[in-house]
């Protein structure tokens, strides 16, 4: 019998097909394992697959007495209680950089849509406003991107790919991260300095307790009335209530969001604003990215069940 693996998070079935060819998968579909399977059915499960942003704490790990590996489908692992995993001798793996190019592409897409007011322009045509010559304040000329200052918060794989794309748009690139790198972009030693400097802020930092709501009302004021905020990281990095108010009061000009404090994101005050572009956490959602993430999951599980170190381990 193939090695049994619990699917903890809710994934489309087609994303698990290739993995299911190698391992015996049992699917909790985002529910607590004990709500779906009996203790006897879970007794021999030694590995599980999860979405990195979903909360996975000690209470879940305790349901699987033989659990030895948690494998995240994707780059993130912020939902996993790493301390609890380490205490139980459970190794954790992820899919580093597998979807970085796709996420960087979406960051640029959101930036273009927000700064060039793409949704307003689309509606202007569809509503007949263009044909009728109806005046629209949302159709006033934007500044444009050439020469604009783009600040990247987090210079990991995604941040670097965003920087390369922004440079091709003839933008001036700056960044802030925990480390300074040998890169042809200006480094800012503090996030506050970066935010005050840039016209467009791209949030690409890894989520964690130290970044919770780090983009707050004060940071948004520093970004300023001509500033644009793009988030393709995690919703927890931004105080969403403060952002909604800042967009409503024109404290900043616009935003583009692929991630939210609570997902899936339900229509609310943020959704009603014309100066924000919203997508449903699809940054890494391309066919190539999914293949790459599945390759990482398979490599991690194969190594674990063979008694070897994970191919892509998270440092606990």
Q: Is the pLDDT of residue 1 over 80?
A: no
Residue 196 among the catalytic residues: no
What band does 3 get if pLDDT is binned at 50, 70 and 90? confident
Asked about 263 being catalytic, the answer comes back as yes
Query: Where residue 140 falls among pLDDT bands split at 50, 70, 90?
Result: confident
Output the CATH code of domain 4-98+287-305.
3.40.50.720
CATH 3.40.50.720 fits 100-278, yes or no: yes
What is the rounded CA–CA span in Å between residue 69 and residue 59?
A: 15
The active-site residue, picked from 234, 265, 290, 312, is: 234
- Tell me the per-residue pLDDT of 240-266, one tens digit each, with 9 for 90 and over: 999 999 999 999 999 999 999 999 999
Which residue spans within 107-247 are E strands per DSSP? 149-153, 172-176, 186-187, 200-203, 228-231
Tell me the C-alpha to C-alpha distance, in Å, between residue 26 and each of 10, 56, 57, 200. Answer: 12, 17, 19, 44
Domain ranges of the chain: 4-98+287-305, 100-278
The model's pLDDT over 84-103, given as tens digits with 9 standing for 90+, comes to 999 999 999 999 989 999 99
Active-site residue among 22, 213, 263, 285? 263
Active-site residue flag, 234? yes
Asked whether the domain spanning 100-278 has the same topology as the one spanning 4-98+287-305, the reply is: yes
């Amino acid at each position: 019998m193939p090695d049994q693996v619990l699917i903890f998070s809710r994934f489309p079935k087609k994303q698990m097909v290739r993995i299911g060819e190698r391992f015996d998968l049992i699917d909790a579909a985002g529910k607590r394992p004990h709500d779906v399977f009996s203790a006897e059915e879970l007794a021999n499960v030694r590995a599980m697959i999860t979405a990195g942003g979903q909360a996975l704490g000690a209470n879940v790990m305790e349901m699987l007495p033989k659990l030895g590996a948690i494998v995240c489908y994707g780059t993130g692992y912020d939902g996993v209680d790493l301390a609890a995993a380490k205490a139980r001798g459970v190794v954790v793996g992820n899919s580093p950089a597998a979807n970085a190019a796709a996420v960087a592409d979406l960051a640029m897409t959101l930036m273009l849509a927000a700064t060039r007011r793409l949704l307003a322009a689309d509606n202007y045509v569809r509503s007949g406003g263009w044909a009728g010559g109806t005046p629209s304040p949302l159709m006033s000329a934007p500044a444009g991107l050439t020469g604009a200052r783009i600040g990247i918060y987090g210079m990991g794989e995604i941040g670097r790919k965003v920087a390369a794309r922004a440079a091709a748009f003839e933008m001036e690139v700056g960044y802030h991260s925990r480390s300074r790198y040998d890169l042809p972009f200006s480094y800012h030693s503090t996030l506050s300095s970066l935010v005050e400097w840039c016209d467009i802020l791209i949030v690409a930092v890894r989520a964690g307790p130290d970044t919770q709501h780090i983009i707050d009302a004060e940071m948004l004021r520093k970004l300023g009335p001509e500033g644009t905020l793009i988030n393709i990281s995690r919703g927890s990095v931004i105080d969403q209530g403060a952002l909604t108010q800042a967009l409503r009061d024109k404290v900043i000009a616009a935003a583009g969001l692929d991630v939210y404090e609570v997902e899936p994101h339900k229509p609310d005050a943020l959704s009603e604003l014309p100066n924000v572009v919203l997508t449903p956490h699809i940054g890494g959602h391309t066919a190539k990215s999914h293949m790459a993430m599945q390759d990482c999951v398979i490599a991690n599980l194969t190594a674990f069940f063979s008694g070897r170190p994970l191919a892509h381990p998270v440092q606990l």
